């Protein structure tokens, strides 16, 4: 069982910054994808940013140039630096992981492919 725990959420004004953290259990699989997803009540959960163990990153178009995903593997911690925040970024942010012993080609980073989820941290951006 893999545990993930998010922190760092809060309330900020538009234009401000937040740095989310996700501490997790040690990944024992050969390959993995770990990332950030967000959800607003009444809407589907969407991918924000992901990173694979080979360093490959993906970003939602809406956050490109503003958000940066990174990880410290020694600390088992994933980060999401969020700059120039907009009211539209208001959501519950979740950390999630897909673990695989298959080749990297088969590793999934999409919403439905994640095996483990944290409980989320709330981000509110006011105008």
Rounded Cα distance between 110 and 116, Å, is 12
The predicted pLDDT at position 41 comes to 93
pLDDT of residue 1 exceeding 90 = no
pLDDT of residue 115 exceeding 90 = yes
pLDDT of residue 119 exceeding 90 = yes
Return the SS3 of 73: helix
- Both tokens of residue 24? 């997790």
Which residues are within 8 A (CB) of 15 and not within 5 positions of it... i.e. 6 or more apart?
84, 85
pLDDT of residue 43 exceeding 90 = yes
Phi and psi dihedrals of 115, rounded to 5?
-90, -35
- pLDDT tens per residue, range 69-89: 999 999 999 999 999 999 999
Q: What is the mean pLDDT of the chain?
A: 97
More confident residue, 50 or 1: 50
Which residues are within 8 A (CB) of 95 and not within 5 positions of it... i.e. 6 or more apart?
4, 5, 6, 20, 22, 24, 34, 35, 36, 37, 78, 117, 118
Are 62 and 47 within 8 A, CB to CB?
no
């Amino acid at each position: 069982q893999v545990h993930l725990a998010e922190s760092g959420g809060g309330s900020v004004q538009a234009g401000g910054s937040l740095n989310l953290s996700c501490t997790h259990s040690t990944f024992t699989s050969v390959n993995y994808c770990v990332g950030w997803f967000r959800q607003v009540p009444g809407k589907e959960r969407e991918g924000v940013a992901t990173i694979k163990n080979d360093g490959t990153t993906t970003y939602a178009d809406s956050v490109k140039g503003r958000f940066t995903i990174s990880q410290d593997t020694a600390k088992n911690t994933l980060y999401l630096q969020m700059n120039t925040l907009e009211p539209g970024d208001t959501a519950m942010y979740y950390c999630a992981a897909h673990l695989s012993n298959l080749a990297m080609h088969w590793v999934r980073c999409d919403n439905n492919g994640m095996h483990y989820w944290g409980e989320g941290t709330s981000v509110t951006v006011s105008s």
